[in-house]
Amino acid sequence: MQNLEITKIFEELGDLLEIQGANPFRVRAYRNAARTIGDLAEPVAAILQDAKRSLDDLPGIGADLAAKIKSIVETGTLPQLEELRQQVPPGVVAMLRISGLGPKKAAALFKELQITSLDMLKEACESGAVAKLKGFGAKTAQGILEGLAHIEQAGQRLYFAEVEPLADELVADLKRVPGVTRAEAAGSFRRRKETVGDLDVLVIASDSSAAMDALGSHPQVAQVLSRGETKQRVRLKIGLEMDLRVVPEESYGAAMQYFTGSKDHNIVVRRKAIERGLKINEYGVFRGESAVAGRTEEEVYAAVDLPWISPELREGRTEFDRAEKGRLPKLIELGDMRGDLHMHTTATDGAGTIREMIDAAKARGLEYIAITDHSQRVSMANGLDATRLRAHWKEIERVRGEVSGIEVLKGIECDILEDATLDLPDDVLAEADWVIAVLHYGLKQPREQIMKRLLAAIRNPHVHVIGHLTGRIVGKRPPADMNVDEVLRGAADHGKWIEINAHPSRLDIDDVGAAQARDLGIPIVINTDSHNVNGFDVMRYGVFQARRAGLEAKDVANTRSWPEFRELLAKHR
């Protein structure tokens, strides 16, 4: 049982209860449990098997939730969930994927209009039935239609972070099959894309049947869709489809290159081969009928006079120009990170206390952090007004005086309000060590107003960084309508920094925007937006996004030592 599956069970449980109007504290407990399990770097099953550990040691997990988790791991389901599924159709829960359509509205659509699927919802919006419903209106109906279109465009893709542990498990298990000497995932997964639509795994095996038999009977496989001599397609239990390809050793490098690069990247590689009188495909590099390379990717790229190109860069953008000029970047690595400057505590919607978050950061080897709870506009997260914030900062000062070996900045995640003012007055922000300005609300405002809000925050002398710039939620909520180029130029002109929010649902700013920020000389920070002590583990996904942007360690401000970071902070104040 993967952590992803447990997380989805608790998320669905929370959704179903909220649709039914259950106690909000009960709903929040399940949502916090989902977040805690989702942030774990190790399988829950491993904790259950360790006699010295207990699930209720995890943040937000009490005895009742621990028992439920144990039941899920042992049985694959939860009786309570099955009962609720009988009461609320799955199409009603699917409505929650639409940005701005919460449980109360989904419940109203179900109860008042008997809508039980997304297709029915679309028809009801187009017919005007939704607009006539109390509490909705024409604007809401139009917003639902736009949300449905966004979901359809996103397709059935999963976050890379959701797929990674499963892909790692499948590859590791294939490596254990007798006769398999090599196995590795390719495709968009190897390029570390934000989302994954399917999996491609290549293996070298002396017996292809044994590898395919092992995959077909794997506990994570729901169905074998097709099987040939060297290729097998299966559907995984999480809904993703996977291709297993058994390739000969002499073709492995060519196959990895072919099945890893994007379409645009591979078109350029093939064109370069043609210019040199060669042909490149998944079987190798050929001059006429004779194979001249293919055993390794290095051989394939060398055949077209290029150095090996990191998988994350293979998108057909600037990688070829850089490679030809000998300027391929030495991409940032997770081990380069020394600080984390965006996190939440129990003062707002976090599950860890100030001390717990500090201790967890220190245990991960971080040299400095900023504690940045929400400002008052985020009322659903118990956001802080000026009085509570100052008291919170005093507590941070007290606690940081008790710890050594890590620097702790007192910060705030301050909302940029719909009227283009900040959520807290300047005299309060002036007392902060670190101010993140963000858009949380009004994300559907016209471009003119969105730009006015962002540029006002950028001009504010107390703001250090713009966090999760576009406000998007990957696959669910589109970015706010803005001119990213203009925002980044404004940030560069006013000495502001830009965040790559490492949470797998955000990864905002995206890789293209991060590359633009680097080219403008804007310091970039990769932050986890942690809401509990395990939340720091998502840093890796922010680093992957930075690698896709071609960033080196020097391009990311929080790879610096504390003295270097402090100097940079003073310079860009």
Residues in CB range of 70: below 8 A, 6 or more apart:
48, 55
Task: Give the gyration radius of the chain's Cα atoms.
Answer: 25
Tokens (6 digits) for 227:
């099987």
* Segment 261-269 long-range contacts (CB within 8 Å, at least 24 positions apart): 261/191, 261/314, 261/316, 262/188, 262/191, 262/314, 262/315, 262/316, 263/316, 264/315, 264/316, 264/317, 265/314, 265/315, 265/316, 265/319, 267/316, 268/316, 268/320, 269/300, 269/301, 269/304
Quote the tokens at residue 514.
């991060």
pLDDT at 82 over 90: no
pLDDT, the chain, mean: 93
Instruction: Give the model's pLDDT for residue 153.
Output: 61
**pLDDT at residue 263 tops 90:** yes
Q: Is the pLDDT assigned to residue 224 strictly greater than 90?
A: yes
Q: Locate 239 and state its tokens.
A: 């809904």
% of the chain beyond a pLDDT of 90:
74
Write down the pTM of the prediction.
Answer: 0.82
How confident is the model at residue 468, as a pLDDT? 98
Q: Are strands 290-293 and 284-287 parallel, antiparallel or unpaired?
A: antiparallel
Q: Are 410 and 433 spatial neighbours (Cβ–Cβ below 8 Å)?
A: yes
Q: Which of 334, 498, 340 is nearest to 406 (CA)?
A: 340
CA 346, 347, 349, 355 dihedral sign is negative
Angle between helices 3-19 and 79-87 (to 10 degrees): 40
Give the residue from 361, 460, 477 showing the smallest Cα distance to 415.
460
Q: Quick one: CA dihedral 114, 29, 417, 388, positive or negative?
A: positive
* Integer Cα distance of 284 and 290 in angstroms: 10
pLDDT at 464 over 90: yes
Token digits of residue 457: 């925050």
Distance CA 413, CA 539 (A): 18
- Give the tens place of pLDDT for each residue, 129-138: 999 998 899 9
pLDDT of res. 41: 72
In CATH terms, the fold of domain 158-246 is: Beta Polymerase; domain 2 (3.30.460)
Distances (CA, A) of 70 to 67, 112, 169, 340: 5, 38, 21, 32
Q: Write the pLDDT tens digit of every residue in 225-260.
A: 999 999 999 999 888 899 999 999 999 999 999 999
Nearest CA to 243 out of 259, 257, 254 is that of 259
Residue 104 pLDDT level (bands cut at 50, 70, 90): confident
Is the pLDDT confidence value at 155 over 70? Answer: no
- The tokens for 176 are 């254990």
User: Does residue 373 contact residue 382 with C-beta atoms inside 8 Å?
Assistant: no
Let me know if domain 3-154 sits in CATH 3.30.950.10.
Answer: no
Q: Which residues contact 303 (CB under 8 A, 6 or more apart)?
A: 273, 276, 278, 280, 285, 292, 293
Non-local CB neighbours of 434 within 8 Å, separated by 6+ positions: 341, 370, 372, 409, 410, 411, 412, 464, 465, 569
Separation between Cα atoms, residue 260 and residue 308, nearest integer Å: 13
At residue 101, the pLDDT reads 83
Q: For 362-415, what is each residue's pLDDT tens digit? A: 999 999 999 999 999 998 889 999 999 999 999 999 999 999 999 999 999 999
| pLDDT tens digits for range 30-76 | 888 888 888 777 788 888 888 888 888 888 888 889 999 998 888 88
Q: Give the residue-averaged pLDDT of 108-135.
A: 92
Q: pLDDT confidence of 93, banded at 50, 70, 90?
A: confident
Tell which wins on pLDDT, 28 or 172: 172
Q: What pLDDT score was predicted for residue 573?
A: 62
Arithmetic mean of pLDDT, 101-130: 91
Cβ atoms 109, 60 nearer than 8 A: no
Q: Which CATH architecture has domain 334-571?
A: Alpha-Beta Barrel (3.20)
Q: Which residues contact 396 (CB under 8 A, 6 or more apart)?
A: 354, 371, 408, 410
- The C-alpha atoms of residue 151 and residue 475 are separated, in whole angstroms, by 7
Q: Does domain 251-324 have CATH number 3.30.210.10?
A: yes
Poorest-pLDDT segment among 40-44, 208-212, 439-443, 481-485:
40-44
> DSSP state, 416?
B
Over residues 531-543, the mean pLDDT reads: 95
Instruction: Give the N- to C-terminal CA distance of the chain in Å, as an integer.
Output: 48
> Which has the higher per-residue pLDDT, 354 or 107?
354
- Cβ atoms 78, 67 nearer than 8 A: no
CA-nearest of 402, 344, 351 to 371 is 344
Q: Is pLDDT at 450 greater than 80 in this prediction?
A: yes
Helix extents (H) in 312-446: 319-324, 354-363, 386-400, 426-429
Overall average pLDDT of the 101-115 stretch: 89
Within 8 A by CB and 6+ apart from 85, the residues are 16
Cα distance between residue 88 and residue 12, in whole Å:
11
Asked if the model's pLDDT at residue 126 lies above 70, the reply is yes
H helix and E strand count, the chain: 25, 17
Q: Flag the least confident range among 75-84, 226-235, 551-560.
A: 75-84
Residue range(s) in the chain whose domain bears CATH number 3.30.210.10: 251-324
DSSP label at residue 47: H
**Pairing status of strand 497-501 against strand 524-527:** parallel
Q: Which helix (H) or strand (E) holds 297?
A: helix 297-303
Least confident of 232-246, 497-511, 554-568: 232-246
Looking at the chain, the domain(s) classified CATH 1.10.150.110 span: 3-154
Spell 73-101 as b/e; 16+ CB within 10 A means b: beeeebeebeebeeebeebbbbbbbbbeb
